[in-house]
Structure 1
Amino acid sequence: MSETPTADDRLQVLEAITDAALGYLAQEKVMATILARVRDLLGVDTATVLRHDPSARQLQAIAASGIEEEVFQDVRVAVGAGFAGRVAAERRPVILDQVDETTVVNSLLQERGLRTLLGVPMLAGDELVGVLHVGSVTPREFPEADVELLQLVAARLALEVQIEVAATDRAAAAALQRSLLPGRLPDVDGMRFSARYVPGTEPGVGGDWYDLFPLPGDRLGIVMGDVAGHGLNAAVIMGRLRSVLRAYALEWDDPAEVLSKLDNKVRYFEPGALATVVYGIVSPSRDSVEISLAGHLPPVLAVPGLPAVLVDVPVDPPIGVAGLKRRRTVVEVPPASVVAFYTDGLVERRGQLIDVGLRRLTEVVTPDQPGVVCARMMAALVGGTPAQDDIALLVARREAT
């Protein structure tokens, strides 16, 4: 190519990366097809896409043409290390005309006999999505025209990677969420239950969860939690918290102690993670529940003949935030009473004080059958409007004696 890209050069590249036929291919086929076309257009022997993993500060080969072993062997390069790592760290095009152990960390590039490499960062605004590099087995120059054209391709591939990552994360988060929520609420003497879970439409699946499990001594554990954030990472943390809380619940009878242990675990192994949790232990007689709140909204208690109220329980810091000793409160549950646990997605709305949602919530919770109460709560607070944030809801009713 000439040093100044011609209109024909640009048109060829744009046609190659915007071909409408690509829309009918699977995601992995789209990148493979684009890379094969890039090899033809630039007259190179290899083309590779490495995706950036910001949490690990690594680049991982996810698509290649001419050097497919990079994908098959799960090649990973640290940001700042070697050729691709340098492109990622500097976020600018890099041309390499000496390919050996002093300039690259991926031995496959040497084994393939590459003599010249050109790499460009794949950017989406200020976000580093990955690195695209091409290579030639014969010494050659990459004029500015080639650099500019490869940057056009990199921008297209950055979008493709973002779409693929987002779709994969959504699917994985949704599957994980479904697998961790109770498929069937347990049958418990003296109590009835009903639950709902609705993923948010705007940020997608998050870290909301509820749990209900038997404990030794004919007691019952009830959990409602909300991990800060959305997407796969929030769902993964949620799964870990759920499992660890269950384990601690078998070892300690005090809900405040269980949440203290959970908090220690999160601050040590999941630094930066944050979650609100309410954990309650229902007594064997079903006439009371011991509750501890970690930054969570209080449950609603509806007793026959009285207005429903938010349970008067002190709120301790969320899980992940060091604070004072956690506290527990014993709440009496008379016969035929209902206790409703929920996450903030049920009562929070943009441009509206949360007190409005909480007041509306206490107005609709009644000491009826749990399924009826759940339906009434969802109708009053969600209605026909898609939930912006995740909603988890669990209603427990002590049977009348």
Structure 2
Amino acid sequence: MGEARSSSIRLQVLNAVTDGTLRQLELDKLLEVLLRRVRDLFAVDTVTVLLVDRSGRQLVARAASGLEEEVFQGVRVPVGKGFAGRVAHLREPVQIERVDKSTVVNPLLWEHGLQVLLGVPMIAEGELTGVVHVGSTTPRRFTDEEVDALHLVADRLAVAVYMDRTRSERAAAALLQESLLPARLPSTEGWELAARYVPGAESGVGGDWYDVFPLPGERIGVVIGDVVGHGLRAAVVMGRLRSALRAYALEYSDPAEVLGKLDRKASHFETDTMATVAYAVIDTATHRMSLASAGHLPPVLATPGDEARFMPVPVGPPIGYDLAGTGRRSLDVDVPVGTVMVLYTDGLVERRGEDLDEGLERLRRVVRSTEPEVACIRIMATMVGDRPATDDIAVVAIRHSDTR
């Protein structure tokens, strides 16, 4: 009789998790429907799903059937602590037959008279997304077949959570990126600007950004940057760095000092973050430019009648991890009429199977002393062409058009 029930529960759970109608449901509704079915199929009193938070250090109650208070009260369980935390840490099933403060973190479980708990990890694409556990107020021992059946549930839930998070993060990152890139480049007499941003076809929106803003004293600030990583986290860090750099730019005139302050801020508040940044300040009255680089690829400069060249800007360490122990330096140059400067991120020049120097040389050859919009068109046509970029691309072109 026991074997028949075990076989029956496997089949019923398999039918439940593969039900085609579930594909049409939003995540919250899918959790509600599936957890209710699991509660009936396993003949248990509670079913709960806890998801790993953004830090990866805590589980947060997201859905429940039978003990909804866990969700209403925002129950949190540290990974590695208590029952659910142990399941997450070990990434394997855990069954306990004594539910009290010595075995679980959440007092709701023993206060509601649960006697036994079975939990399994939710894993998708090798990533832990959460834990699902079932509980009973009647003493019992879950069979190996029931453990396997709950694994089927966990796998289905893990895929649903992973896909929902991926879609949500991509949409949020794209929206955040769009909101932070300049909607319109500032118009300054005697100076023309153009820019491009293209998200990577494979990686999606990441941490590449450009920024152009007016500064006191007839100056223009120009930034290009690239946060290591992709997705929502990289976009959020990018937004923080962008805002911080703007604030420092109002206080300090030397780009190297601005990058130094940005490095200090990122190293202290943005742990495990690294970014390359180039920051230039153009004095439109004296036609001089000061430029500093934190691990970023060198800008290309093209003056009328000459071949384009890479600017010999001192390259300091990237932003993050407080690596610039010896300080940072700026390069000061004159910007004659007709000069074009192009700043870019590495997605423009890096290609699989190609040496970076080849991409840099191809970029150098295509940059000419011309209108910035024309320069961007030529650059993107040559460097990207009909092949989708695998990584984000950001490009800014600036031209000193006349002496007023």
TM-score range, shorter-chain basis? Answer: over 0.9
Per the alignment, residue 270 of structure 1 pairs with 270
Q: Distance in 2 between matches of 1:286 and 1:347?
A: 32
Per the alignment, residue 401 of structure 2 pairs with 399
Contact 2:122 2:158 in 1 (8 A): yes
Shift of 1:267: 1.6
Provide the TM-score with structure 2 as the length reference: 0.94
Superposed CA deviations along residues 62-106 of structure 1, whole A, max 9, x for unmatched, are 222222222232211001222211222232222222222332221
Which of residues 351, 362, 365 in structure 2 aligns to 1:363?
365
Give aligned pairs, total: 401
**Map of 1:113-152 to 2, 5 A cutoff?**
113-124=113-124, 126-152=126-152
Per the alignment, residue 348 of structure 1 pairs with 350
Per the alignment, residue 102 of structure 1 pairs with 102
Q: Distance in 1 between matches of 2:113 and 2:177?
A: 47
> RMSD between aligned alpha carbons?
1.8
Q: Distance in 1 between matches of 2:190 and 2:52?
A: 53
Per the alignment, residue 79 of structure 1 pairs with 79
Q: Which secondary structure does the structure 1 equivalent of 2:273 belong to?
A: coil
Per the alignment, residue 45 of structure 2 pairs with 45
**Where do 5+ consecutive residues of structure 1 fail to align?**
none
- Report which stretch shifted further, 242-251 or 31-40: 31-40
Per the alignment, residue 217 of structure 1 pairs with 217
Contact 1:201 1:389 in 2 (8 A): yes
Shift of 1:56: 4.6
Q: Which secondary structure does the structure 2 equivalent of 1:105 belong to?
A: coil
Per the alignment, residue 384 of structure 2 pairs with 382
Per the alignment, residue 334 of structure 1 pairs with 336
Per the alignment, residue 203 of structure 1 pairs with 203
Q: Are 1:241 and 2:241 an aligned pair?
A: yes
Shift of 1:111: 3.8
Q: Distance in 1 between matches of 2:89 and 2:144?
A: 21
Q: Distance in 1 between matches of 2:190 and 2:112?
A: 71
- Report which stretch shifted further, 326-335 or 314-323: 314-323
Counterpart residue type for residue 139 of structure 2: P
Contact 1:210 1:223 in 2 (8 A): yes
Q: Distance in 2 between matches of 1:4 and 1:217?
A: 84
Contact 2:9 2:42 in 1 (8 A): no
Give identity over the alignment, percent.
57
Shift of 1:205: 1.1
Superposed CA deviations along residues 221-254 of structure 1, whole A, max 9, x for unmatched, are 1100001111111111111111111111111111
**Where do 5+ consecutive residues of structure 2 fail to align?**
none
**Map of 1:245-256 to 2, 5 A cutoff?**
245-256=245-256
Provide the TM-score with structure 1 as the length reference: 0.95
Q: Distance in 1 between matches of 2:143 and 2:16?
A: 20
Shift of 1:4: 7.6
Q: Are 1:193 and 2:177 an aligned pair?
A: no
Q: Distance in 1 between matches of 2:363 and 2:284?
A: 28
Shift of 1:127: 3.4
Counterpart residue type for residue 372 of structure 1: V
Q: Which secondary structure does the structure 1 equivalent of 2:183 belong to?
A: coil
Counterpart residue type for residue 67 of structure 2: I
In structure 2, do the counterparts of structure 1 residues 286 and 228 end up closer, same or farther at CA, with 3 Å as the change threshold? farther
Counterpart residue type for residue 397 of structure 1: R
Contact 1:64 1:71 in 2 (8 A): yes
Q: Distance in 2 between matches of 1:142 and 1:64?
A: 20
Counterpart residue type for residue 227 of structure 1: V
Counterpart residue type for residue 233 of structure 1: R
Q: Are 1:289 and 2:289 an aligned pair?
A: yes
Q: Which secondary structure does the structure 2 equivalent of 1:212 belong to?
A: strand
Contact 2:7 2:145 in 1 (8 A): no
Contact 1:313 1:329 in 2 (8 A): yes
